[in-house]
Chain A
């Protein structure tokens, strides 16, 4: 089944987006083949994922992580692959409004749950979420690779009520590593956004 192509929208990452589109196309061809070689059992399976308020039908290898489903099959490359072992937090997404790690989640096991990625955080009019704006205002990143995960984790951190003090923020953001060391500015950004976010 063809992944919906309307998830991408206008993007400043047009070139990357086009490349990822090609990848998604080839993945679709793969999916049309019988089970991958070596799979005595399992192979490709049909699944429906609800991402950013929209259902997506996929036919992918049963082993596909939610992170790979997003990046390789749905052209949602905002979620980043850092360690792919649940240690760095770069792949953080919101599942039923809770922050979870898409690299340790099987895509097939995420069916029936509401998945929010960084692409789904801005308003439908394109207005940035207060946390996104706060990260820009405070320059809370350098290379930016961990940033989507940081922002989603920070949104949940505030919603959980875990952003009351600097120490509280540091403790509850410890699952998101930043090798550039932007931590002090991330704390500042969260403190700005927490006053602008409605709870829940």
Chain B
């Protein structure tokens, strides 16, 4: 690990000031915020991230770790741990997909450490990104190429990829937040602002080294998730190479607002298969106003993966992703849900 200075930010102003040199996910950012450390310290040991300055924002937990549920929605403090939020009774009751996406991720130890803010910003698990001995990785070294396209790409993305990068967004919570139209609360040198969660992660767009739309010095302080019938009738289904403690090969976050057997509204997120947290409005549009059964669920899944691009090792993913979504939709339909928020 390369040398760095360590500073603790006692409050948000200090965090923005000390973290003025953070950047949009670039590995050459000279400053990095440290919360749980489960991504940052790992990637610093691997010599992927090389900050000269580490700004510990864990003191912000005192003010930014709360979970509050009202009839309008859910507020999640960005410094809350994954395990705290997964175990929260209001989250389990009214936003089960959020609770499940958290409890199905990582291990108990990692969930105790990792903050929600850090979790949504976790880096790809692409082996060529994580190992600097590979020369070509556009995410690590802009313009150097992509080794995965012709290399090992078993768990690489099939949606939202381009010639520059086919890496997979590995997170689970982010998939649900994208589907549920969450907002991100930010605090930075220019004050506070709100950002649609869907705009937090940038598309690859030929520049995969630019990962987020965070401005230098900005800290994620929380998440707002509007409530709806679809948040209560929701689930997160995750398919993995092993049954626990593994990243998704394919996952689906599904929320349904049902009128009997007919879909009033649907919210669909896909994980393990996409470059960034992925909402499938195409699949949602297929379902609205239709009777939900295996046939319409398959049609929705077909629409969700219509644009899939595979590279050999991940040829299985569109079909696995479709089947995962179909199963998730039918399971969500059969959930027994109380209508009270």
What's the dominant secondary structure at chain A's contact region?
loop
A89: B residues at CB distance < 8 A: 107, 109
* Contact among B4, B37, B53, B245 with A175 in the assembled complex (CB-CB below 8 Å): B245
Q: Does B244 contact A (CB under 8 A)?
A: yes
Decide if A42 touches B4 in the complex (CB within 8 Å): yes
Nearest 3 interchain pairs by C-beta: A175-B107, A174-B244, A39-B3
Contacts of A43 in B (CB 8 A): 3
- By size class, the interface of chain B is 20 to 34
Q: Which of B52, B108, B244 has the most CB of A within 10 A?
A: B108
* Bound Cα distance A175, B38 (Å): 13
Shortest Cβ gap from B40 to chain A (Å) = 9
CB contact under 8 A between A85 and B42, given known A62-B6, A104-B37: yes
Q: Among B45, B53, B244, point to the contact of A170 (Cβ < 8 A).
A: B244
Chain B residues with CB under 8 Å of A172's CB are 108
Find chain A residues with CB under 8 A from B56 CB.
106, 109
Binding site for B on A (CB under 8 A): 36, 38-43, 45, 62-63, 65, 84-86, 89, 92, 98-101, 104-106, 108-109, 153, 156-157, 160, 162, 170-176
B308 at the interface (CB under 8 A from A): no
Summarize B's interface: helix, strand, loop or mixed: mixed
Q: Is there an interface contact between B4 and A63, defined as CB atoms closer than 8 Å?
A: yes
Partner of B34, one of A63, A101, A109: A109
**B-to-A contact residues, CB < 8 Å:** 1, 3-6, 34, 37-38, 41-42, 45-46, 52-54, 56, 58, 83, 106-110, 112-113, 244-245
Do the beta carbons of A104 and B108 come within 8 Å of each other?
A: no
- Return chain B residues, CB-CB under 8 Å to A171: 244
Residue of A nearest to B83 (CB): A98
Known: A86-B110, A175-B109. A106 touches B5 (CB 8 A): no
Residues in B neighbouring A109, C-beta threshold 8 A:
6, 34, 37, 56, 58
